[in-house]
Each structure stands twice: as structure tokens, then as C-alpha cells.
Amino acid sequence: MSSSYSDFIPLTKSAGAVAIEKAVQAFFVAVPGAPFVAPANEDDPNREKWTAGVGGIAFYTNFNELVFQACRPRVRIRLHSATVDPYSYALDDNSILREKSWSGQLDFGILTEMNYAAHTTLRSVVDAIIPQILPQITADNSTFATTGINALLANFQVSKFSGRSVSTDISEEKSEAAYYSGISCDIAFGVNPAKWPPNMETL
């Protein structure tokens, strides 16, 4: 039986962005001793009043921030500007080209009350955890192991996760009476080869 478009929905760039945002969120929440808390269920009728609790810091995906009201302090993860890697395609059993890997940008948006010490401390915590996300190289340097973020991904694999040279400036969000700053990372990710439908041909 030939594959159909529905077989590839979970393997698209958009699905990958959502999966990676959720995986980064889960990774941060699971770091021992870290204060990060994922928000409640999006269907919770009290979601607009949700807080991370005393001492907790809300860690949002881009979608979470649309569903839940402003929580302070908070960190938001967003994967954007993902473009297909040149010559990175597979041919399905209907002779249709399918994208298989992408490069993009992953942004950590940090927002706190207008307290410089609190803001810089939270930014330092995020900065210290980011390097732990990168999956480790296997012994022969040929593939990326299922460690770091890849341990939390089913249909995708991350092959690059590195910090960029970004400003450490902190801006004042007057509308929210808050301080904001961002940390950006470069990311490369692709479909896990084991998740392709049968009879795929890599080009």
C-alpha cells in the first residue's frame, strides 16, 4: 500500500518545531534542583490564573504563552526560521520528495519583574543549562546518541544545538513593567530514519 500525506504529518518541519519546543521544556523542568515548572493543562478552566507556585519559574513553549496569561518570572522557548537543508530529501513510494532535515533558531525569552539581580540570575541559570541539551556524539563520531534532548524526541533527532553570539542587553518592557532578555541558539534537526514509512529512498 502506498503512503499518503497523512503518514508524513508527524514528520514535517512544523511538527518538529512543536516537538522540540516541548522536549526543551521537559528537559528544563527535569533538571535536578532547577526551579522550572511547566504550565497546567491547556483545558484547565483556571489556566489564566495559573502560576508556577512559590519559588517556581514558569517555562513556556511558544504555544503555552498563547494559552496562559502572563506569568512572572517566566522563560519561553521558541523554534523559528527553520529552513530545509540543501540536498536533504527523501523519496517516498509515490516518487514525491520529502524534506528530511532543517536548520533554524531556538530562542529563550526571559521575563522577570523589574529587578536587575533577579533577572540576571535567571538568565545565568538558563545559560548554564543550555549546553546540557546537546546530544552526545557516539564513539566513532558517526551519529548522535539518544541522550540530551534526543532522549525526549520520538520522530526527530537533533544534531546541532549551539549558542550564538548574542547581546546580553536587558530591555524594559514598559507595558508589562518587566525586564526582558533573550538567548538564541542555532539548531539543526531531522527526521529519525527509523520513523520513515516503509520504502523510503534517501537522496
Q: Kindly report, residue by residue over 72-105, the tens digit of the pLDDT.
A: 899 999 999 999 998 889 999 899 999 999 999 9
CA dist., res. 70 & res. 57, Å (int): 12
Q: What pLDDT is recorded for position 145?
A: 60
- C-alpha distances (whole Å) from 151 to each of 49, 56, 59, 147 are 32, 25, 19, 5
Q: Using CB atoms within 10 Å of the CB of residue 149, give its burial: 0 to 12 exposed, 13 to 18 middle, 19+ buried.
A: buried
- Sign of torsion, CA 101 162 14 158? positive
Residue 182 and residue 166 in contact, taking contact as beta carbons nearer than 8 Å: yes
Q: What pLDDT is recorded for position 163?
A: 76
pLDDT at 172 over 70: yes
Q: What pLDDT is recorded for position 29?
A: 96
pLDDT > 90 fraction of the chain, expressed in percent and rounded: 59
**Out of 103-107, 127-131, 171-175, least confident range:** 171-175
Residue 117 and residue 31 in contact, taking contact as beta carbons nearer than 8 Å: no
CA dist., res. 16 & res. 201, Å (int): 20
Q: What pLDDT is recorded for position 143?
A: 56
Read off the C-alpha cell for 100.
Answer: 528530511
**Out of 23-32, 42-51, 116-125, 152-161, least confident range:** 42-51
Amino acid at 70: A
Specify the long-range contacts of residues 116-125, CB closer than 8 Å, at least 24 apart: 116/170, 116/179, 118/73, 119/73, 119/170, 119/179, 119/181, 120/170, 122/57, 122/73, 122/75, 123/168, 123/181, 123/183, 125/34, 125/35
137 pLDDT band, cuts 50/70/90, is: low
CA dist., res. 76 & res. 160, Å (int): 20
pLDDT at 63 over 80: yes
